[in-house]
Chains A and B, each alone.
Chain A
């Protein structure tokens, strides 16, 4: 109880109000430094396989010898299909799978986004496990075209060979589904949506044959042409849509099988050269975070992860001496491990940052950084709330500055102008300006309405960007960027015409805006850590800006905020990564309509409104 009354007494302390900006800055600095120390040896851990049933690399693999001849034959078959129509191609692929005594079916799909029509056909086959009861299945995927839009010749041929090879084994205790999807993103999405009956049957065909609950999925990306290509490393892609990740056990099993059993080096996040140094670990982590933050589909496996099906893509990279058979054996061993599973992968981590193929940071270690960054907004918002309840500037009663009018005595100015309260404690008496002890009534309506309206305003660009024809997207982006740069000034100007917001209302607008930002980022950190950190860092200057009557300062702050405009940052980021803004916007719209991507919701309904409210607050100073 004593503690509470001490705390209550403390909150009257004027010094306390000076702390929050420093505390917020400290939170941000600690949050960022926290991220930077993660790649150090002391803060990361070696990966390990948690699920005992997996037993990676404990079986002998038999995918060798004569299978190689079959593979070469299939590869030529696949190469001859390159210029055929989808119909003919899938007919032939279906025939090959049927000749291995598998049940084959096809699925047509079509999506309409940004005025484009994405339509193709998936062909898939089900291998009924001899020891299975059709309650569980694992999926082997080869997309006809990979993420770079190359024809996945060897990948498809390898999957066909493996299907024929797997059929001969009697040890499968799960069904195996062989899926050859039309492309790398929408095809698997259409298939997995239809598998779980959450598709729109008007544009996406329902699946005619199905098996049990999907336990895992492995996609192969090996675009070498009919004469083959020996590769150097396996690039393992593990991030799914909206930054959800595959269970770390699946990734570990793949690394363990490939590097431990087959001697193939593994790499991730396009880090072709990785010496396990601090710099490279950090680079891997940051690339992983950006990929997770953007939340895009990074391969055919991505669509499976939202359905709680752990999935990865194995991509061959570089020039080396590993051939298709070692990739086949890797997949065989991986499938034998998955075949051992008694229950869904659950033992290991779902939230992790990978630094190297066998080095990771778990959520407990990295989450505080995102939370600290999110908390800095909440701290400032609480401070602003307290500040909004204080009366304006209180003259210092002990000041010796002579009063403005020379005839007046300085003592009388204290007694007449500043009402004082007498406080007695422990035999001592103190005079305190009454204003310090009082809390002003807060005018909540305008700030609340303004912040809410700002957040709803974000729906407009969200709708526009997701429904504009691709040929106008570039233009739309420029127009919206210009408008969103001008809008804060226009809003501040028009509000000033009505001599609103008052000083207190300005503080409250910022208070509520930061409160909401802190809340959204904290909630987001649990769903998509990286996005929360990225937006948190991009919006961190909003904590420190204040409305001021000083015009040059307001001007400088407005300029700073104009640079921090989400649209400017997005434009800058696409430029830095050498991406074309149009293709990014088209992908984003495709993500919205096809993959169920939520990143733009966060951008338009969390990031942009926070920036907008901050800009209006600063811009108000220009028109004061």
Chain B
């Protein structure tokens, strides 16, 4: 458990860094908000401002075809003063969002669900970092800071995902379902986290109450609650915008990828090259690919649901249509919770070096392509491939480590033996 002064110091330092960056470099937020690595068409703050402008003038925010984010963000941000003139309130808001996310991350770390679950106890459970260290890793991660300074709305999505995980690992079902609904409402794909987190929630409740709740009833109740919560959010959005049009402009864009602005993901280049007749087919294949990890991982790693959810955030950071460094930041901050797996991982240096190299080569190649005009799209795409490779290596390697950790418990006699593929 972390001491209170440490926590306070960490939060104060993180808030100070953010507010200092906001005030010392007034042009930094808009510079970062324009970077394709940080802001995607579905999370960009500039587009949010465009939507706000239309909304405050009683025009449908989706009319311009620029705004693709959830309608409920609009009343929230219209409460804040206009960031073009007085950005302070918005800056404080985003700083708070990051601090709350860190708080949720600390709850996840403190719950100990990473090492000890109902059905599984890792043999390396003593090996863990304090929750303050993990929260510091999140708060001072340059990717998180960049997301916060760029005021990308993925910071909000990350907050709700982390809160959902935290609440699930505490067994607080109502808040879990509510934050799950918010995360899914904002970004759609987090809904895939529901099954593993529901298992986590079930496990925690079982341990707490010393008796398992009725499995089927538990699933049915919570799924129904999620549907009700989501339905309520969507209906509220409909009331707000006056029609169901927002569905196409928000989830439709995420599903069908009409905006091919470059990002750090793998979809945009592929779909710029695609003949139109194949587009629907490959959209289906790509989405199926993303979604297919959830059932497989949930079943195979049934005993470690928190690890499944973490790995899924990594999968989202690689394979969703509009990923940004914010998604990578979320995954990379969750990985240290599984400190006990690190001794089993084999490619940490390789993976972290490739992430490091690409975070510098990416902007350099983007500069060559867009500003210097001496490169082309392939330069940037090559780097996004390496970036995704680096993340995939971490995902794959940590999966290997988790399975190996399970094996060490199941077959203690194999401990320390080299694995062989058969």
A residues with CB within 8 A of B? 1, 4-5, 8, 244, 306, 308, 344, 346, 350-351, 378, 382, 385, 439, 441, 515-516, 519-520, 522-524, 526-527
Q: Is the CB of B367 within 8 A of A527?
A: yes
The proximity string for B residues 356-371 relative to A, scoring 1 for CB distances below 8 Å and 0 otherwise, is 1100110011011001
Q: Is the CB of B373 within 8 A of A526?
A: no
Point out the residue from A346, A441, A527 that lies within 8 Å of B368, measured CB to CB.
A527
- Given A8-B418, A244-B372, A523-B361, does the pair A515, B356 have CB atoms closer than 8 Å? yes
B residues with CB within 8 A of A? 343, 349, 353, 356-357, 360-361, 364-365, 367-368, 371-375, 379, 418, 420-421
Docked pose: A378 CA to B17 CA in angstroms:
31
Docked pose: A515 CA to B350 CA in angstroms:
11
Point out the residue from B343, B353, B360, B371 that lies within 8 Å of A308, measured CB to CB.
B371
Q: Is the CB of B374 within 8 A of A5?
A: no
Docked pose: A511 CA to B388 CA in angstroms:
24
Number of A-B residue pairs having CB atoms within 8 Å of each other in the complex: 48
Q: Is the CB of B349 within 8 A of A346?
A: no
Q: Is the CB of A351 within 8 A of B418?
A: no
Q: Is the CB of B364 within 8 A of A527?
A: yes
A486 to chain B, nearest CB (A): 31
Q: Is the CB of B364 within 8 A of A523?
A: yes
Taking CB atoms, residues of chain A closer than 8 Å to B371 are 308
- Given A308-B371, A308-B372, A382-B349, does the pair A526, B357 have CB atoms closer than 8 Å? no
Taking CB atoms, residues of chain A closer than 8 Å to B418 are 8
Taking CB atoms, residues of chain A closer than 8 Å to B343 are 439, 441
Docked pose: A346 CA to B353 CA in angstroms:
34
Taking CB atoms, residues of chain B closer than 8 Å to A516 are 356
Q: Is the CB of B421 within 8 A of A1?
A: yes
Docked pose: A524 CA to B375 CA in angstroms:
14
Taking CB atoms, residues of chain B closer than 8 Å to A4 are 421
Point out the residue from A350, A378, A382, A524 that lies within 8 Å of B372, measured CB to CB.
A350
- Given A308-B373, A382-B349, does the pair A519, B367 have CB atoms closer than 8 Å? no
| CB nearest neighbor in A for B368 | A526
| CB nearest neighbor in A for B422 | A1
B365 to chain A, nearest CB (A): 7
Taking CB atoms, residues of chain A closer than 8 Å to B365 are 526
- Given A350-B373, A527-B367, does the pair A522, B361 have CB atoms closer than 8 Å? yes
Q: Is the CB of B372 within 8 A of A519?
A: no
Taking CB atoms, residues of chain A closer than 8 Å to B373 are 308, 344, 346, 350
Q: Rank and list the top 3 A-B pairs by shortest CB-CB distance, nearest first.
A: A350-B374, A308-B373, A523-B360
| CB nearest neighbor in B for A245 | B374
Taking CB atoms, residues of chain A closer than 8 Å to B379 are 526
Docked pose: A30 CA to B337 CA in angstroms:
44
B105 to chain A, nearest CB (A): 20
Q: Is the CB of A526 within 8 A of B361?
A: yes
| CB nearest neighbor in B for A389 | B349
Docked pose: A464 CA to B335 CA in angstroms:
40
Docked pose: A540 CA to B270 CA in angstroms:
40
| CB nearest neighbor in A for B127 | A441
| CB nearest neighbor in B for A378 | B353
| CB nearest neighbor in A for B367 | A527
| CB nearest neighbor in A for B353 | A515
B404 to chain A, nearest CB (A): 14
Taking CB atoms, residues of chain B closer than 8 Å to A382 are 349, 353
| CB nearest neighbor in A for B370 | A308
18 A-B pairs whose Cβ atoms sit less than 8 Å apart in the complex: A1-B421, A5-B420, A306-B372, A308-B372, A344-B373, A350-B372, A350-B373, A350-B374, A378-B353, A382-B353, A519-B353, A519-B356, A519-B357, A523-B357, A523-B360, A523-B364, A526-B368, A527-B368
| CB nearest neighbor in B for A520 | B360
- Given A5-B420, A5-B421, does the pair A522, B372 have CB atoms closer than 8 Å? no
| CB nearest neighbor in B for A2 | B421
Q: A351-B374, A523-B361 are in contact. List 11 more A-B contacts (CB 8 A).
A: A1-B421, A8-B418, A244-B374, A306-B372, A308-B372, A378-B353, A385-B349, A519-B357, A523-B357, A523-B360, A527-B364
| CB nearest neighbor in B for A438 | B416
A9 to chain B, nearest CB (A): 8
A581 to chain B, nearest CB (A): 31
Docked pose: A339 CA to B420 CA in angstroms:
68
B142 to chain A, nearest CB (A): 11
Q: Is the CB of A519 within 8 A of B360?
A: yes
Taking CB atoms, residues of chain A closer than 8 Å to B374 are 244, 350-351
B34 to chain A, nearest CB (A): 14
Taking CB atoms, residues of chain B closer than 8 Å to A515 are 353, 356
B102 to chain A, nearest CB (A): 19
Docked pose: A520 CA to B361 CA in angstroms:
8
Docked pose: A308 CA to B367 CA in angstroms:
12
Taking CB atoms, residues of chain B closer than 8 Å to A350 are 372-374
| CB nearest neighbor in B for A344 | B373
Taking CB atoms, residues of chain A closer than 8 Å to B361 are 522-523, 526
| CB nearest neighbor in B for A1 | B421
Docked pose: A328 CA to B379 CA in angstroms:
41
Taking CB atoms, residues of chain A closer than 8 Å to B360 are 519-520, 523
